[in-house]
Structure 1
């Protein structure tokens, strides 16, 4: 893993780097520490990154400028900040976790467990999905997303306007962030439950979700039972 730490207080940065090395052991191929937003932006745009640990207040600069860019990328972002009142907004943008300062090893390790899918995210207040289009970052309102289709390492967002946007995160990473209103119906699809009109069974026991917009999406056999329970109890 290539991990980027963006923190302007050297003492805290050294502590974060040390704990990160101890947790990830041999899987942390490179841990880079930077002190400013400009350095962080330049780094994520020009390097392969797997995880960003970001302070939101760097020498008085607003970390949300970098956060918009970060959450649109393929990696997960964990905020480490003393500004607890910004936690809700950070989750709305799509961060994996918000670790309030002062923090201890146990709390930081809990955030790292989420990176490895070992712990579910209790707070899924995501309101936007950030996507890049023509070099700019756009915030897509979750309420406008009908379903998300896996596209290799990327994901395709399909909106209620029929517009589509490509997201740099994989379907698996988006599934970690999305609220309970979305459900995995197939290895390639995440669907908003409220968009389902009916579940249809065709010959050969093939299951399909009929959407309110008349589209048909495949439902995996292993997903059919949980989908039916969610819809009908």
Structure 2
């Protein structure tokens, strides 16, 4: 997997390089020293993994993630401060490593990454991802309430940290799964990542209008409105045009 090291401290980057030399499946494709530098290199190098410092000159690591377009790379935070851990996991971080990075903690984080990228059966064989068709139904539970929901009736999925809120009929339960994990089960022909926090069912789109900075405002049947960034709006136009 291609990795980008983002840290304003050269010694910290060098130490990560040294530790990652023991993991040949992780290819370091570049380094960045601040958010603006990282934005350019993420766009150019398309890394699948970010090793991201929190505090850097100008803007912090969280602002970088807010500015990146989905789908986001996997993120392992590396920082000298433990007070940002809760916020890091609100961004679905894979792990949060304190400097100096413990080699064993790094190994554990990478094993988690590998397991997520390639699920296996007990016998070690890869598990194929089963996509849900619109005609399928899914079991949904929140507390003591349960539903058997047709996939076609799900109009919006919305990230809330490591959880996802599901909108269908007049219900909106919160599920204990990340939006990324939910998106992996959905058919991309019918579900579209509108922005970092929302996935929409294209069959529920009722209207579209221009929005700020080249974006779009999508209106769903039932009254919900979802903003598409300029980049996602471009993808949306390409997918929905003849």
- Superposition TM-score, scaled by structure 1 size: 0.52
Deviation of the 1:28 alpha carbon: 3.4
Map of 1:39 onto structure 2:
37
Note the alpha carbon deviations across 1:92-141, whole angstroms, 9 max, x for none.
Answer: 111111111222211111111111118xxxxxxxxxxxxxxxxxxxx743
Question: Which of the two has greater strand per residue?
Answer: 1
Q: Aligned-pair RMSD on alpha carbons? A: 3.3
Which 5+ residue runs of structure 2 have no aligned equivalent? 117-157, 168-181, 203-242
Number of residue pairs matched by the alignment: 142
Give me the whole-angstrom Cα distance separating, in 2, the residues matched to 1:46 and 1:165: 30
Note the alpha carbon deviations across 1:170-211, whole angstroms, 9 max, x for none.
Answer: xxxxxxxxxxxxxxxxxxxxxxxxxxxxxxxxxxxxxxxxxx
Deviation of the 1:41 alpha carbon: 1.1
Which 5+ residue runs of structure 1 have no aligned equivalent? 119-138, 167-233
Map of 1:78 onto structure 2:
76
Map of 1:19 onto structure 2:
19
Deviation of the 1:157 alpha carbon: 6.8
- Superposition TM-score, scaled by structure 2 size: 0.50
Deviation of the 1:155 alpha carbon: 6.8
Map of 2:125 onto structure 1:
none
Map of 2:187 onto structure 1:
151
Describe the SS at the equivalent of 2:75. strand
Describe the SS at the equivalent of 1:144. strand
Note the alpha carbon deviations across 1:67-97, whole angstroms, 9 max, x for none.
Answer: 2245833421110011211110110111111
Match among 91, 104, 107 for residue 106 of structure 1: 104
Map of 2:6 onto structure 1:
6
Note the alpha carbon deviations across 1:125-162, whole angstroms, 9 max, x for none.
Answer: xxxxxxxxxxxxxx74345235644336997579xxx9
